[in-house]
Amino acid sequence: MASAKFKSSINRQGVKEIVLLLSPLAPRGVLAFATFSLIPFLEPQLIRGTPGWTRMGPLATNAAAGHPQTSLPTINDLPIEVFHLIVSLVARKEHVDGHDYDLLRALRLVATLWSTLIDDCPQFWSTISSSDPEPVWRMALQKSKQAEIDVDCAKSSILSMRNDFPTTLTKAIVIHTPRVRKLDLLDRDFDYLLSNASITPCLRSLYLRGSTTDHDPIALPLHPVNWAPNLRNVTLDLSHVILKGLLWDNLEGLTIYNSNSLPMEDVIATLAASPGFRYLDLGGPMQPRCYSHQRLIPTVKLEALESLIFHIGQRRGTPFEALGSIITSPKEVFWLVFQASDENLRPENLRSIGRFASRIADGEAEIALKLVVGKCRNHIEMGGFDVEITSHEDEVPNPLAILTHILEGLPPQSLLAVKTAEIRRTEPSLVLGLLPIISSFFPNTSHLIITALDGDLASSIGGRNTDGWIFPQLESLSILHYRGGHHARKAIEPRLKALESGEQLAKLKRLCLPSVRAWNMDEAEIAELNALVPEVIVNLPDE
């Protein structure tokens, strides 16, 4: 934006003139702040190589033509660095006054007070938000001209729990829908737009929010496929819109939170019609299943899927039944959160989860396994494969069996790729049961991280079971909160003796004790560990 017409000289007089340009902001207390901030910005050593600016005032001189220039200054008369600084100053002042730090809001405020910016930069007005004062978003609709825009009609309506439909902004954008690129609005406003607005060929992203006070279903006058033919990403959040048959085609992303009006069959049909589908997030109950007849959900193969996220509750109609219908292995993320109910904890359901992890390990030389096992929460994380089982009322029954069923479904390449196993926030009795399970499923584990070490755990790590030594490839052991008692020696010394006697067992090369209290461990124990392990790291704070 800084053109060659600007003079290269920048001096104190220039600073004064820029401050004069900011004079409309004086009522908001920004003028003095801007004055002190612009002076160091305009020092020659800080702007070397930056185009200068001409003397800008109502009677600024056009050096090229040699005659007075009577037009008011515009945004194009400032170097872009200076204009950005002006906007940031306003944003800081607004933040001091109690507003959120929002550069876009500050930009609109500057332009509202500095009227000569009108019609200069439509791209600065591409976001139309109902959280802004009405004069601001109306000006944004005007100044964005023919540029594509992102419209958020829902924010202020949700915050104020308004029940009047449609909202003021929704009515205002009716004539602008052909250039809307992203739309976020209440589902009842969406009903209004479909009835009154022309099609939206530019619309790529749609976010429909349902009212928290009005739960009546909404029958749309027109199917959204015909109104937004190029839609790529859809989010339905508590939406009460009734959609039958194919929802959309050629989608890339679909997110559904607690939408009771949608049958899972239609969701699967939408996925099948979208060969480039990349992102699926299903949360909460879908349309309840009718138990009077067997419900058959078609199978869909999603080859391009990158992320698959499920939030599954205890009520009927949860998306768990869709897991068996989706043939895919996401490239990056599989995240499943579900409640511990009898239906969800069926062994065949748990085993079906593991098949989604096959592509996550591809190309990875090493994967870390992280586990939390408990009475109310079970969590397994392995790269992008992330499964969490929660229970808000009763204890999770037999968490070790649940984990075993999930691991049984994991593909072999994922099991062999795990080199680090970490167990946190788990009772010692459960850790004792976990160790042989992890060792059996992940034979290449070379680094084990546990929270604490007692006599039983030490005996397990340093002893044999029916299948031989656990963690035969173990080279590094970390105990996050070690309480001494020579338990570490009990875990290490038998393994060392077995190795010296010729057994096929890796040598423990590193022992890490990051948090040890002085009264739990003395110098004698540290010395005996140094004699057993080449590298011993002990964090023993001075007390």
0.75 exceeded by pTM:
no
Q: How far is CA 416 from CA 131, 411, 505, in A?
A: 51, 9, 17
Helix (H) or strand (E) holding 256, with range, is strand 253-257
Residue 164 has pLDDT above 70, yes or no: no
Structure-block tokens of residue 194: 């479909």
Confidence of residue 462 (pLDDT cuts 50, 70, 90): very high
Map out the domains of the chain as residue ranges. Answer: 1-120, 446-543
Query: What CA–CA distance (Å, rounded) separates 105 from 152?
Result: 14
Mean pLDDT is lowest, of 98-102, 128-132, 196-200, 222-226, for: 98-102
pLDDT in tens, 327-366: 888 888 888 888 787 777 888 888 888 888 766 655 556 7
Mean pLDDT is lowest, of 111-115, 340-344, 476-480, for: 111-115
User: What's the pLDDT at 17?
Assistant: 46
User: What's the pLDDT at 146?
Assistant: 85
Query: What CA–CA distance (Å, rounded) separates 371 from 10?
Result: 62
Residue 435 has pLDDT above 90, yes or no: yes
Burial class, 506, CB count within 10 angstroms (exposed 0-12 / middle 13-18 / buried 19+): middle
Q: How far is CA 354 from CA 193, 266, 381, 415, in A?
A: 43, 25, 12, 11
- What is the average pLDDT score of the chain? 76
User: What's the pLDDT at 245?
Assistant: 67
Query: What CA–CA distance (Å, rounded) separates 106 from 95?
Result: 10
Structure-block tokens of residue 514: 């990051």
User: What's the pLDDT at 243?
Assistant: 76
Confidence of residue 499 (pLDDT cuts 50, 70, 90): very high
User: What's the pLDDT at 151?
Assistant: 93
| CB < 8 Å & 24+ apart, contacts of 339-345 | 339/312, 339/313, 339/314, 339/389, 339/390, 339/391, 339/392, 340/389, 340/390, 340/391, 340/394, 340/396, 340/397, 340/402, 341/314, 344/312, 344/314, 344/318, 344/320, 344/389, 345/389, 345/397, 345/402
Q: Which of 291, 339, 290 is nearest to 314 (CA)?
A: 339
Average pLDDT score over residue span 180-206: 92
User: What's the pLDDT at 360?
Assistant: 65
Average pLDDT score over residue span 29-49: 39
Confidence of residue 56 (pLDDT cuts 50, 70, 90): very low
User: What's the pLDDT at 93?
Assistant: 67
pLDDT, greater one: 261 or 229? 229
pLDDT in tens, 254-311: 998 877 667 777 888 888 889 999 999 987 655 555 444 455 677 888 989 999 988 7
pLDDT, greater one: 155 or 115? 155
User: What's the pLDDT at 283?
Assistant: 76
Average pLDDT score over residue span 508-517: 92
